[in-house]
Structure 1
Amino acid sequence: MNVVFTLLTVVQVLSALAMIGLVLMQHGKGADAGAAFGGGASASLFGASGGANFLSRSTAVLATVFLATTLALAFLGYQRPQASGSGSVLESVPVVPVTPDAAAPAVPAAPAPAGGAAQIPGQ
């Protein structure tokens, strides 16, 4: 179970980093106006509009992978631990009932000072 959890965590981190990189490589909506006045979009790697389509689809795929791994990790994290050595240490401690005869003897209360008022030490 730990192998699946670790594998899902690695896939989630890698997809998050790749998605961040893809989002940073995409042009904003304001970049289209600059391309109309000779921005050189036709000389790019993917052509005039192929780059935006490829990057947006890749981002959508990575977002889907990220969402799926997040849901899987949440599901695995919600599972109760198995009884094979995992869990709380206190669950394995035996409960010993306390009987009245084994209890400590009661300490007698100190007598109240005369005069009805409590005396403060040092006065």
Structure 2
Amino acid sequence: MTTVLLVLHFFVAAALIGVVLLQRSEGGGLGIGSSQGMGNFMSGRGTANLLTRATAVLATIFFALALALGLMNQGTGRQRSIFDSAAPSAPGGTAPAAPGGLPALPAAPATPAAPAVPTN
């Protein structure tokens, strides 16, 4: 079921991007609202109304699908956030976790008791 909703969500997102790009912007954009390419099929105002309504419908479907996918994935044992993943391992092995779930800092190198003085 989740896979079907994900595929549907992808197609709705692609259609939403296409509809937004087709709309006429202040500078002309990629809009099809001019009568040059459309002939007498629809007026500029009719095309703008159609694209505005299509954008609103697709946006509503997009948000509903996103909400449904989020709610469906909420109860599963899957990782829910990228912050819930395991800490990256250190070069020598795994890093122990600090109390807040963050990896512990590496230990500071030991300092010698007395400064080394070169002898000739």
Q: TM-score by structure 2 length?
A: 0.52
CA distance in 2, matches of 1:71, 1:11: 13
Q: Report the more deviating stretch, 44-53 or 56-65.
A: 44-53
Kindly indicate whether residue 42 of structure 2 is the aligned counterpart of residue 46 of structure 1.
yes
CA distance in 2, matches of 1:30, 1:57: 21
Report matched runs for 1:41-120 at 5 Å.
43=39, 45-81=41-77
CA distance in 1, matches of 2:24, 2:39: 15
Identity score, percent: 38
By how many angstroms is 1:47 displaced? 1.3
CA distance in 2, matches of 1:66, 1:28: 22
In 1, are the aligned partners of 2:12 and 2:62 still within 8 Å (CA)?
yes
By how many angstroms is 1:29 displaced? 2.9
Pick the structure with more helix per residue.
1
CA distance in 2, matches of 1:17, 1:43: 27
Residue in 1 aligned with 2:23? 26
**Residue by residue, what CA displacement relative to the aligned partner does 1:68-88 show, whole Å, maximum 9, x if unpaired?**
00001111111134xxxxxxx
**Residue type at the aligned position of 2:52:** S
Backbone CA RMSD of aligned residues: 2.0
By how many angstroms is 1:48 displaced? 2.9
CA distance in 2, matches of 1:61, 1:40: 25
Residue in 2 aligned with 1:101? none
Aligned match of 1:16 in 13, 31, 44?
Answer: 13
Bigger Rg, structure 1 or 2: 1
SS at 1:49 equivalent? helix
From the superposition, tell whether residues 43 and 5 of structure 1 become closer, same or farther in structure 2 (CA, over 3 Å).
same
The unaligned stretches of length 5 or more in structure 2 are 29-33, 78-120
- How many residues get paired? 71
SS at 1:27 equivalent? coil
Q: TM-score by structure 1 length?
A: 0.51
